[in-house]
Amino acid sequence: MAKLTTQINTSSQEFKNNQAN
C-alpha cells in the first residue's frame, strides 16, 4: 500500500511540475 501511495504522490508532483511549465 505504501508503494502505491508513493507512486500516486510522484505522479501528482510530476503533474504539478508539468502544469508549472
pLDDT(20) > 90: no
Greater confidence (1 vs 7) lies with 7
pLDDT in tens, 5-19: 999 999 999 999 999
Q: Which residue has the cell 502505491?
A: 4
Q: What is the pLDDT of residue 7?
A: 92
* Helix (H) or strand (E) segment spanning residue 18: helix 2-20
C-alpha cell read off for 1 = 500500500
CA angle 18, 19, 21 (to 5 degrees): 65
pLDDT(2) > 80: yes
pTM for the predicted model, two decimal places:
0.43
Greater confidence (1 vs 19) lies with 19
pLDDT(1) > 80: no
If you count them, how many residues does the chain have? 21
